[in-house]
Chain A
Amino acid sequence: MAEGSSTPEPIQRLVESFHRLPGIGPKSAQRLAYHILRTTEQEASALAQAILDVKQRIRLCSQCMNITESDPCGYCRDERRDRSVVCVVEQPLDVLAIERSGGYRGLYHVLHGVLSPMDGIGPEHIHIRELVVRLQAGEIQEVIMATNPSLEGEATAMYVQRLIGPAGVKVTRLARGLPSGADLEYTDDVTLARALEGRQEV
Chain B
Amino acid sequence: MTDRSRSYSTEGIVLRRRNIGEADSILTLFSLHEGKFDAVARGVRKAKSRMRGHLEPLTRVQVHVARGRSLDVFTQAETIEAHRALKADLERMNLALYCAELADRFTIDRVEQRPIYELLVDVFHALDGGASAQAARYFELHLLAITGYEAQLDACAICRQKLPEEETLISGPAGGLVCRVCRPAASSGRILSVRAIKVLRYGRTATIDQFDSLRLDDALEHELRAALGDLVRPVLDRELNTTRYMDALERADRIPALSANHVQSDQSNPVPPEP
Please name the residue on chain A nearest to B264 by beta carbon. Answer: A166
Q: Does B87 contact A (CB under 8 A)?
A: yes
- Verify A155–B53 contact, CB threshold 8 A: no
Interface size on A, residues (CB 8 A): 43
Q: Does B227 contact A (CB under 8 A)?
A: no
Q: If the complex has contacts A23-B21, A166-B268, are A159 and B242 also in contact, measured as CB distance less than 8 A? A: no
Interface flags, A171-189, vs B, CB<8A=1, else 0: 0000000010111001111
Q: If the complex has contacts A164-B258, A182-B48, A186-B50, are A122 and B97 also in contact, measured as CB distance less than 8 A? A: no
What's the Cα separation between A117 and B51 when bound, in Å?
Answer: 22
Q: What residues on A are CB-neighbors of B53 within 8 Å?
A: 187-191
What's the Cα separation between A135 and B256 when bound, in Å?
Answer: 13
Residue among A22, A117, A191 making CB contact with B94, cutoff 8 Å: A117
- Verify B48–A162 contact, CB threshold 8 A: no
What's the Cα separation between A191 and B260 when bound, in Å?
Answer: 38
Q: Does A102 contact B (CB under 8 A)?
A: no
Q: What residues on B are CB-neighbors of A168 within 8 Å?
A: 262-263
- Verify A118–B262 contact, CB threshold 8 A: no
Q: Does B79 contact A (CB under 8 A)?
A: yes
Please name the residue on chain B nearest to A163 by beta carbon. Answer: B257
Q: If the complex has contacts A23-B21, A117-B246, A132-B257, are A166 and B241 also in contact, measured as CB distance less than 8 A? A: no
Q: If the complex has contacts A118-B97, A118-B241, A122-B249, are A164 and B52 also in contact, measured as CB distance less than 8 A? A: no
What's the Cα separation between A151 and B268 when bound, in Å?
Answer: 25
What's the Cα separation between A193 and B263 when bound, in Å?
Answer: 35
Q: What residues on B are CB-neighbors of A150 within 8 Å?
A: 56
Residue among B255, B262, B270 making CB contact with A138, cutoff 8 Å: B262
Q: Is the interface of A mostly helix, strand, loop or mixed?
A: helix
Interface size class of B (residues with CB under 8 A): 35 or more
Q: Does B36 contact A (CB under 8 A)?
A: no
Q: Which of B56, B57, B90, B267 has the most CB of A within 10 A?
A: B90
- Verify B101–A122 contact, CB threshold 8 A: no
What's the Cα separation between A183 and B49 when bound, in Å?
Answer: 10
- Verify A118–B257 contact, CB threshold 8 A: no
Segment 224-275 of B: residues with Cβ below 8 Å from A: 241-242, 244-249, 251-252, 255, 257-263, 267-268, 270
Residue among A23, A117, A167, A188 making CB contact with B245, cutoff 8 Å: A117
Please name the residue on chain B nearest to A121 by beta carbon. Answer: B245
Please name the residue on chain B nearest to A158 by beta carbon. Answer: B90
Q: List 8 A-B contacts (CB under 8 A).
A: A119-B241, A138-B262, A154-B87, A158-B89, A158-B90, A179-B48, A181-B48, A189-B79
Interface flags, A122-160, vs B, CB<8A=1, else 0: 111100110010011010000000000011001100110
- Verify A188–B241 contact, CB threshold 8 A: no
9 additional A-B residue pairs with CB within 8 Å, beyond A122-B244, A124-B252, A164-B258? A117-B98, A118-B16, A120-B245, A135-B258, A138-B262, A155-B93, A163-B257, A167-B262, A179-B48
- Verify A188–B82 contact, CB threshold 8 A: yes
Q: What residues on A are CB-neighbors of B185 within 8 Å?
A: none
10 closest A-B pairs by CB: A122-B248, A188-B53, A167-B262, A120-B241, A167-B258, A186-B50, A120-B244, A123-B252, A136-B260, A167-B263
Chain B nearest CB, measured from A10 CB (Å): 29
Q: If the complex has contacts A167-B262, A189-B84, A190-B53, are A118 and B249 also in contact, measured as CB distance less than 8 A? A: no
Q: Does B17 contact A (CB under 8 A)?
A: yes
- Verify B257–A164 contact, CB threshold 8 A: yes
Chain B nearest CB, measured from A145 CB (Å): 13
What's the Cα separation between A116 and B17 when bound, in Å?
Answer: 11
Chain B nearest CB, measured from A134 CB (Å): 11
Residue among B50, B58, B89, B245 making CB contact with A151, cutoff 8 Å: B58
Chain A nearest CB, measured from B49 CB (Å): 9
What's the Cα separation between A202 and B69 when bound, in Å?
Answer: 49
Chain B nearest CB, measured from A161 CB (Å): 9
- Verify B245–A116 contact, CB threshold 8 A: yes
Q: What residues on A are CB-neighbors of B241 within 8 Å?
A: 117-120
Q: If the complex has contacts A118-B57, A120-B245, A166-B267, are A179 and B79 also in contact, measured as CB distance less than 8 A? A: no
Q: What residues on B are CB-neighbors of A132 within 8 Å?
A: 257-258
- Verify B242–A117 contact, CB threshold 8 A: yes
What's the Cα separation between A151 and B22 when bound, in Å?
Answer: 19
Q: If the complex has contacts A118-B97, A167-B257, are A23 and B242 also in contact, measured as CB distance less than 8 A? A: no
